[in-house]
């Protein structure tokens, strides 16, 4: 996959978030693309929709699952779990499957504890993962993230 597919998905996510939460806000954090760990960010986006703040890391992946090793911001975003009013998660687009998911970081914690090495379609029945209602456009998905408005505390 070229990096432009992932970057374009991030732009699509931003548009869809704004459509899903017209009274909310979304900010893209600086992406250095340099590979230097010292300037990595906690997530790709910080979003707000009353009364919650969301730390969202966007990932695109070929196939049916994303290896945890591909979630390079895990250590930083993990620090947001358990804070009242904070929702921290991964928005994953499995582009060959035309499916979009929200995976709470707390779910990834549990999966790692259980010895899992990746998250994807087979994880749906066993773990707390939300499939985002989405419609296929020419290449990307148009997604409705309003389903995340009622996430439980810690998700």
* Residue 73 pLDDT: 92
Q: Residues 32-60, buried b or exposed e (16+ Cβ, 10 A)?
A: eeeeeeeeebbbbbbbebeebbbbbbbbb
CATH architecture of 3-30+38-150: 3-Layer(aba) Sandwich (3.40)
Contacts (Cβ under 8 Å, ≥6 apart) of 71: 57, 59, 90, 108
* Residue 35 pLDDT: 52
Query: What is the per-residue pLDDT across 12-52, written as a single tens digit (0 to 9) for each?
Result: 999 999 999 999 999 999 766 555 555 678 999 999 999 99
Task: Judge whether residue 55 has pLDDT over 60.
Answer: yes
* Residue 4 pLDDT: 87
Q: Where are the domains of the chain?
A: 3-30+38-150
Share of the chain above pLDDT 70, in %: 92
């Amino acid at each position: 996959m070229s990096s432009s597919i992932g970057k374009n998905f991030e732009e699509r996510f931003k548009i869809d978030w704004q459509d899903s939460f017209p009274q909310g806000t979304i900010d893209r954090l600086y992406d250095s693309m340099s590979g230097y760990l010292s300037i990595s960010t906690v997530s790709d986006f910080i979003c707000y929709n009353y009364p919650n703040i969301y730390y969202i890391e966007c990932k695109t992946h070929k196939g049916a699952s994303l290896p945890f090793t591909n979630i390079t911001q895990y250590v930083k975003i993990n620090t947001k779990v358990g804070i009242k009013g904070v929702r921290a998660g991964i928005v994953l687009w499995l582009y060959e499957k035309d499916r979009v998911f929200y995976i709470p970081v707390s779910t990834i914690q549990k999966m790692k504890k259980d010895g899992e090495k990746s998250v994807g379609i087979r994880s749906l029945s066993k773990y707390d993962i939300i499939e985002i209602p989405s419609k296929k456009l020419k290449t990307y998905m148009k997604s409705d993230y309003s389903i995340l408005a009622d996430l439980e505390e810690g998700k």
